[in-house]
A and B are shown apart, each in its own frame.
Chain A
Amino acid sequence: MTEPAATDRSTISGPAPSGPAAGSSAGPADVLSGVRRVRRRDPVPLGAGLLIAVVGCLVLVVMDGSYLGLTVTTGVGYAIVTVGMVLQLGYSRQLAFSQSVFMGVGAYGTGVLETKYNFSSLESLLAVIALAAVAALLVGAVVTRAPGLALALATLILPLFIYQLATFSSWLGSFSGIDGVAPFWTGSDYTATLVQTGIISAVLLGLAAGIVLRVMRSGIGLQLMAMADDERLGESIGVSLRQRRLEVFVLGSVLAAVGGAVLASVQGIVTPDVLSETSEITLLLMVFVAGRKSVTGVILGAIVIEYLTTSTSFISTNLGIIEGIALLVILLVEPDGVAGAIDRLLGRRTDRWAASLQTWSAARLGTRGQAAQGARGGGNGAGNAA
């Protein structure tokens, strides 16, 4: 134990003598029942999901099919992907770079099913979800077996050859991709169609946000955070790491696919660009700069960055430099992104659950007679190191 708590920035310190009462009187049973109580009546996921969907719909209706509305709707598509990434990257620390690939699965799946097999929008959406789930299970079962760094490297390579496959496959339309994807909800004219498609997208986004929030605030969410901070800690409270890793991977990938389907419907066309490394880079930036632990943060981040990318001003031409610098600043100053900074300024603790976990696991580890050293890695709470 060599780090003095004086220089420790976390609001929850490890079992250091001078830290705040890490070993409070809450026993494991109390916290568990607290979790169970919340699970039954936690209004936040449903509320947040509804709120996001409603706000999204209102915004899009107001924009009334304008170019801005198109941009925002596209942003919503990306937002669905990033919401899944919050789970993967923000909470589980699962450094996988495969989201753009699954986005492509969703987009291409929608395109192929609608144009070549005449599926309706709803049918293709459901089929794409099923397809992505199966693919994610297969890929995930293999990939999550590998250690963290191998997982990261392998998923870095994945987009490279999937992209090449797509560009060389004439069935997938090579470089020009697939045209003629139907929007989610065809209206009387272009404007109405765009708005109505946007409404469906916003609803899907609300759904995605609700699901992710639900997972994060549940017992599973606690386990994921334990796993992320210190895998020994996770094991000691009975988490099946491999299963959790797989579940997170599948959920993140399925959400990415849904986002891809939205993109295809909104833009009416699917090109290999959705599978490229640039696409993945854009997603990573959306998540990191906005704040990878914040669902609302990444939604706004996705929409804002999409807007900046398509604007013709100085910003979009130099976007690479701006994004790079923003990323570095974020990493150095506030690893939890803009959302994290806002939370800190407002004095809120987003990781209330980290506190529950800390008490629970400290008590649990204590009863198992393990040394405090085991919990040392699990002592990082809000706003601390990646």
Chain B
Amino acid sequence: MSEFLNLLAAGLTSGAIYGIFGACLAVWFRVCNVLNLAVGDFAMFGAIGSAWLVQTAGLPFIVGIIVVLAGVGLTAWLFDWVVLHTAFDRGAGAHGIVGVFFYTFGLSLVLEGVARAMFGTDVYGAPSIWSGPALHILDFHVQRAGVLVIGLAIVSGLILWAYLRFTVSGRAASACGESVLGSRIVGIDSAKFRRRIFIMTAVLAALFGIVESPITGYTYMSGPTLSLIGVVAAGFAAFRRPGRAVAAGLVIGVAEAMLGGYVSTSYNDVLLYAILFAIIIFRPEVLGLGPEPA
């Protein structure tokens, strides 16, 4: 029983990351119909940046966190201003399904390259925010950082959900993604929403990287896999619903852990990805995607 609970705890922890990335992706896609494939890289920068600032530059942890989050926010703002604004507000550049993926894909390449140049290929882990040995609850262990991650994911997910559902601003944000023309004619500034939500999700991802990295180390290449699972989690939320994305992420994380514990530690990812692949192909309705015309 305790093994099951331990696996569950570990699965929920990694699932929380998948879920919150999925929520960030879903919310931003809902607003501007672009997938943020660099979300994992922002998390990576949060994790490695803060670790590096503390361990190598000797800054106090809290200062390191603030510097890193500000840096991530600034990078996101810069990317929107230089690339996304030119592409979507000025009508230049590629659009359609290519635009959905490849702008942020380019960003992700650049971020990884910069991280490699700045931090090398080492594994980094930020200092724990809530340090101490693993908690021992009832019959199982859970890392303190894990509790933080899960709690933060649930809270963030709730906030995002509430924002979209209950505030005027949130509904205006949704309107941007649903009808470009329709939102402009009522005076909604969709560029502003796109930028702000992009920055917010980038900073949130970086924060999660900081909180989670004591458990799993990050390298400069940790981002893409996380982004990809985040995309899948967002997919199960029809690329719209942050609450459902968090739930989907948790399920994926737990499934991964359970497969690892009960089936095979080597092949658990293989099975997981195969299952996800099958679901996407055979049941695209789960992702809110209709059938193609014949």
Contact = CB atoms under 8 A, between A and B. Distances in A.
Do chains A and B interact in one complex? yes
Interface stretch (B45-53, B56-64, B150-158, B266-274): B266-274
B232 interface: yes
Question: Which residue, of A148, A156, A231, A325, has the highest number of chain B Cβ atoms within 10 A?
Answer: A156
Interface in A292-338: 317-325, 327-328, 331-333, 335
B140 interface: no
Given A321-B113, A324-B107, A325-B110, A145 B292 contact: yes
Contacts of A328: 83, 103, 106-107, 110
A171 interface: no
B110 A146 contact: no
A382 to B, nearest CB: 14
B228 interface: yes
A386 interface: yes
A165 interface: yes
B97 A148 contact: yes
Nearest to B92: A332
Query: Most B CB atoms within 10 A — which of A95, A146, A328?
Result: A328
A281 B86 contact: no
Contacts of B284: 146-147, 150
B280 A146 contact: yes
Nearest to B291: A147
A331 B102 contact: yes
Given A241-B294, A320-B113, A385 B96 contact: yes
B92 A150 contact: no
A157 B282 contact: no
B77 interface: no
A50 B99 CA distance: 36
Contacts of A148: 97, 292
B112 interface: yes
Given A148-B97, A153-B231, A386-B95, A168 B267 contact: yes
A33 interface: no
Interface residues of A, number: 50
Contacts of B267: 164, 168
B138 interface: no
Nearest to B83: A328
Contact of B114 (A317, A321, A332): A321
B282 A142 contact: yes
B234 to A, nearest CB: 10
- Contact-size category for B: 35 or more
B281 interface: yes
B108 interface: yes
Contact of A2 (B181, B289, B290): B181
A200 interface: no
Contacts of A95: 97-98, 101
B133 interface: no
B109 interface: yes
A93 B102 CA distance: 13
Contact of B281 (A142, A241, A277): A142
A67 interface: no
Tell which of A144, A242, A319, A327 has the most Cβ of chain B within 10 Å.
Answer: A327
A142 B274 CA distance: 14
Nearest to A231: B293
Given A147-B284, A152-B101, A331 B93 contact: yes
B87 A332 contact: yes
Contacts of B232: 153, 157
Contacts of B111: 324
Contacts of B292: 144-148, 231, 241-242
A120 to B, nearest CB: 33
A335 B106 contact: no
Contacts of A322: 113
Interface in B193-228: 224-225, 228
Contacts of A332: 83, 86-87, 92-94
A321 B117 contact: yes
B183 to A, nearest CB: 14
Nearest to B90: A332
Interface in B251-294: 266-267, 269-274, 276-277, 280-282, 284, 287, 289-294
Given A160-B273, A168-B266, A235-B293, A331 B280 contact: no
B109 A324 contact: yes
A12 interface: no
Given A322-B113, A385-B94, 16 more contacts: A146-B289, A148-B292, A149-B289, A150-B287, A153-B287, A161-B269, A161-B277, A240-B294, A242-B292, A277-B224, A320-B110, A324-B106, A324-B111, A325-B110, A327-B105, A328-B83
Interface of B: 83, 86-87, 91-103, 105-114, 116-117, 181, 224-225, 228, 231-232, 235, 266-267, 269-274, 276-277, 280-282, 284, 287, 289-294
The 5 tightest CB contacts between A and B, nearest first, are A324-B109, A320-B113, A321-B113, A324-B110, A161-B273
30 contacts: A2-B181, A93-B98, A95-B101, A143-B281, A146-B281, A147-B290, A148-B292, A149-B100, A149-B289, A157-B228, A160-B228, A161-B274, A161-B277, A240-B294, A241-B292, A241-B294, A320-B112, A322-B113, A324-B107, A324-B111, A325-B106, A327-B102, A327-B105, A327-B109, A328-B83, A332-B87, A332-B92, A332-B93, A335-B93, A386-B97
